[in-house]
Chain A
Amino acid sequence: DTEVTQTPKHLVMGMTNKKSLKCEQHMGHRAMYWYKQKAKKPPELMFVYSYEKLSINESVPSRFSPECPNSSLLNLHLHALQPEDSALYLCASSHPGTGYTEAFFGQGTRLTVV
């Protein structure tokens, strides 16, 4: 199994809503990532979890709250988002540290904030 599964694939939410994005992998990877990607732009790193601990937060606004409940799951909780937060949100996973650090990506969640 070399898949990273993201749900939902599409999400429309109002600015006062609370929603969550989910990411799951069963490759034994202990590093998991959230990226934000705008149209025709590269992915921008948001968060990195290494061994279920938050290791990198790229100064992301607090309306985005990550959570890593176990080594296979990664969530992104959304609250009070702005229209400019509309984007493709990509989850990825890899082996942490030195060695084989290829990142496997999910298909993303297309988020629209109205």
Chain B
Amino acid sequence: AQTVTQSQPEMSVQEAETVTLSCTYDTSESDYYLFWYKQPPSRQMILVIRQEAYKQQNATENRFSVNFQKAAKSFSLKISDSQLGDAAMYFCAYANTGNQFYFGTGTSLTVIP
């Protein structure tokens, strides 16, 4: 089975600064998708950014960008200009073409005013 590892249970960042959340995964498949989801205390899982494994270009969504290293099986999330509303639990997720989503253990991000 695929595994997704987030080695940082908690992170903190000053407002307006940049923070990077780490994620590694293990798979033998060649076609898959990677995601970062955010889960605030309201508990709804919200998609932050997605990356298709076949694309070499790193995905970006406004202040959010990823560093996708396919050979190293690494998928980190960079949040620039951090805002108070970014405080949440962040989950890295892997999805195969069989519709199975696997989540990492999460990183709790605190934004310090």
Contact = CB atoms under 8 A, between A and B. Distances in A.
A42 interface: yes
B100 interface: yes
Contacts of A92: 45, 101
Nearest to A110: B43
A41 B106 CA distance: 7
Contacts of A31: 99
Given A90-B45, A101-B33, A107-B42, A45 B101 contact: yes
Given A33-B101, A43-B103, A45-B101, A102 B35 contact: yes
Interface in B53-67: none
Contact of B45 (A40, A105, A110): A105
A40 B43 contact: no
Interface string A87-114: 0101010101110011111111010000
A94 B106 contact: no
Interface residues of A, number: 27
A21 B33 CA distance: 29
Contacts of A103: 35, 47, 95, 101
B43 A108 contact: yes
Contact of A97 (B35, B97, B102, B103): B97
A107 B44 contact: yes
A99 B68 CA distance: 19
Contacts of B45: 43, 90, 92, 105
Interface of A: 31, 33, 40-43, 45, 48, 50, 55-56, 88, 90, 92, 94, 96-98, 101-108, 110
4 shortest A-B CB distances, which residue pairs? A42-B103, A105-B45, A107-B44, A31-B99
